[in-house]
Structure 1
Amino acid sequence: MVFTHDTEVSLQSAVFLANSALEPDTLSTVAELDVWFDEHGFTGRHDGDLAELESVRTLRPVLHELLTSDRDRAAELSNRLLEQARALPQLVRHDRFDWHLHAVSTDAPLAARVVVETAMAMVDVVRADEMSRLGVCADETCSGVVLDLSRNRSRRFCSVACGNRGAVAAYRARQASGVQD
């Protein structure tokens, strides 16, 4: 594990949200928000309505910028987001999770909790000088965020689809140049 469990979960959920804005949009219904909420282990308030969906969708460009910034900009953005939310980090333990950080109340709106948890995770990334764990997809036609939690730092694509596209393009280029596999 590169980071603590809560940091990894927050980064994974933020990357999913940032990339959900790519075509095709994968967060366009309340049902899709419900699935994301459950799959990423969120607890606390979840209104499950269109207003909540739209507030979470508006975070996507903010999260994309935060996750793809250089270290200094990520620190600046994290500080600003935490200040705007009046975040007050506290250790909590609930459900199946041992002690971890929450910085806003579980009654806060989902969008506020997402942005604060992502900013808190980025604090860990910046402090550990692990910005290289985040990047932009190697597929030239994609701007998706890549979170590389692998041991050897080998992840280059934001999704299996982009990785497959890259492999097919490389194969075709080799075939066209006469290089045999």
Structure 2
Amino acid sequence: MHFAPDTNDVLAFDVALLNTVSTASRSGTDELATVSQLADLLAGSGFSGRIDHDEQELREVHETRADLRRVWSLDRDDMVVELNGWLATTGATPRLVRHDRLDWHVHATPDDAPLAVRIRVEAALALVDVVRSDETGRLRVCEADDCDGVLADLSRNGSKRFCSVRCGNRVNMIAFRARSAGG
């Protein structure tokens, strides 16, 4: 699947954010429990603008994470309702910008908007591209029985089933052992 590079980047960030919850993380704990962990998540994300590095910001990002997790698996029409609501309540005003190493891309909030608002709007804009391309089926929950991880399947053939190689290997090993025991 081919989206604009900034859409791919935001979808990758969204997956990383959503997979910090305890039921999806590698550690089995909330990997976004501290301001320091949020700073680590943001380090390679490309988010520019205001970052407060405080507990209030962390709480707001947690709320955004919960809302985004809920929207991730909605059907296309229900997703549109949610996304339109997000864009309306945040006062998103899209504009093209170029900064740092990035070529022209869309920002839709002021640089001094709270981080959680910018994450929500960036996610909404990326998901707008997914909806417009009729590719919401590529936003999935991991098929491993014991994992709540999510994935954005950006592969050409749309066959990605697991949130990580770890989950895929574990499920394949379980299936292999079941076949071996039966034969």
Number of equivalences: 178
For 1:163, the aligned partner's letter is G
Match of 1:15 in 2: 15
Q: Distance in 1 between matches of 2:135 and 2:116?
A: 25
Q: Is the 8 A contact 1:52 1:111 kept in 2?
A: yes
Report SS of the residue matched to 1:163. Answer: helix
- Tell me which stretches of 4 or more aligned residues in structure 1 moved more than 4 Å: none
- Give percent identity, aligned residues only: 49
1:2 aligned to 2:28? Answer: no
Of residues 75-84 and 11-20 in structure 1, the stretch that sits farther from structure 2 once superposed is 11-20
Q: Tell me the secondary structure at the aligned position of residue 118 of structure 1.
A: helix
Find the partner of 1:83 among 83, 88, 101. 88
Give the Cα–Cα distance (whole angstroms) in 1 for the partners of residues 169 and 59 of structure 2.
31
Question: Structure 2 length normalisation: TM-score?
Answer: 0.92
Q: How far apart are the structure 2 equivalents of 1:24 and 1:153?
A: 30
Other-structure match for 1:61 = 66
1:159 Cα offset (Å): 2.0
Structure 1 residues 73-126: Cα deviation after superposition (integer angstroms, max 9, x where no partner): 111111011011011111111111111111111110100000000001111000
Q: What amino acid is the match of 1:60?
A: R
CA distance in 2, matches of 1:100, 1:114: 15
CA contact (8 A) 1:15 1:67 kept: no
**Equivalent-residue separation in structure 2 for 1:164 and 1:58 (angstroms):** 32
Q: For structure 1, which segment, 101-110 or 150-159, has the greater mean C-alpha deviation from structure 2 after superposition?
A: 150-159
Please give the secondary structure, in 1, of the residue aligned with 2:134.
coil
Tell me which moved more, 34-43 or 109-118.
Answer: 34-43
What CA deviation, in whole Å up to 9, does each residue of 1:100-158 have, x standing for no partner? 11111111010000000000111100001111211111012222211111112121111
Give the superposition deviation at 1:10. Answer: 1.1
Measured against aligned partners, the alpha-carbon deviations of 1:17-53 in whole angstroms (never above 9, x if no partner) come to 1121133211112121111111211111111122211
- CA-based RMSD of the aligned residues comes to 1.3
1:130 equivalent to 2:135? Answer yes
What aligned pairs does 1:1-181 form with structure 2 within 5 A after superposition?
2-21=2-21, 22=23, 23-178=28-183
Unaligned 5+ segments in structure 2 are none
Kept in 2: contact 1:82–1:116 (CA 8 A): yes
Report the AA paired with residue 46 of structure 1: I
**Is 94-103 or 60-69 further displaced after alignment?**
60-69
